[in-house]
Amino acid sequence: MGERPARKSFHDLLERLEKEGYTVKLDTSVVGRSGVIHHVDLLAEGKVGKRAIVGLEGRGKNPVEEMMTVFAIAFDAGAEPYYVTEGNVEERIAEFYGIKCVAKGRPPLRGPLRDGTG
C-alpha cells in the first residue's frame, strides 16, 4: 500500500500565492454573495478576481466543523478553500468538499476564523 503524499506546508502555500500575484491579508473579512460578512484567518485575492480562503486549525471547534466552515465561507465568497492542520483530518470529507489541506509546518499563525453574520 502506497503512502499518502506529504501535504504542502502553509509556508509553501503563502509563497505560491505571493508568487502568483495574490494579495494576502491576515485576520480579515470578506463579503459573500449572500451579503454576509465573514471573518477569515487569511484571504488571498488575485488580479483576475481569483480568491483563496485559508482557515487555521485550532479555534476550539472540531476539525470537521472547522473544515465545513472554511468550505462554506469560501463557497459564499467564490474562493478556493484551504485548511491548515497538523492533525489527521478526514481526507474523505476534505476531498468531497474540495478542501485543500496544508500542513502547519512553520509558525503558528493564529487568528479568529468566525462564521460571522455581518
Partner 1 sequence: MLLVKDALSAILRRAVPTVEQGTLVAVAGMLLDIPRRDVLLIASTEGGIRHLTQGQKWVAFAGYPLLEKMLATEPKDLYKFLFQPCENASLLLGSISSESDLTSVLESFYRTRFGYAMVESADSFGIVTLTDILLLLEQGRLDTDLRVRDVASSPVFSLPGGTSFREALHEMMRRRVRRVRIEGSDRFVSDREVLMYIFSPARLRMVRKSSEVMLDATLEEAGYTEAIRVDDDMKLGEASAIIKPGSGNCLTMEGEGLVTPWDLVMKPWRTGRLHAGGGVDP
Q: Tell me the closest approach of the beta carbon of residue 13 to partner 1, in angstroms.
A: 21
Residues that bind partner 1 in the complex, under the rule CB under 8 A: 32-36, 60-61, 64-65, 68-69, 71-73, 75-76, 90, 93, 96-98, 114-117
Q: Give the residue with the Cβ less far from partner 1, 58 or 105.
A: 58
Partners of 56 in the β-ladder:
84
- Minimum CB–partner distance for residue 33 and partner 1 (Å): 6
- Report the sign of the C-alpha dihedral through residues 35, 37, 42, 43, in that order: positive
**Distance (Å, whole) CA 50 – CA 20:** 11
CB of 109 to partner 1, least distance (A): 21
Q: Look up residue 70 and give its three cell numbers.
A: 472554511
Give the nearest distance from C-beta 92 to partner 1 in angstroms: 10
When the beta carbons of 42 and 68 are compared against partner 1, the nearer one is 68
Q: Is 109 exposed, middle or buried (0-12, 13-18, 19+ CB in 10 A)?
A: middle
Cβ proximity to partner 1, 36 vs 109, nearer residue:
36
> Closer to partner 1 at the Cβ: 12 or 27?
27
Quick count: other Cβ atoms within 10 Å of Cβ 21?
12
Residue type, 10: F
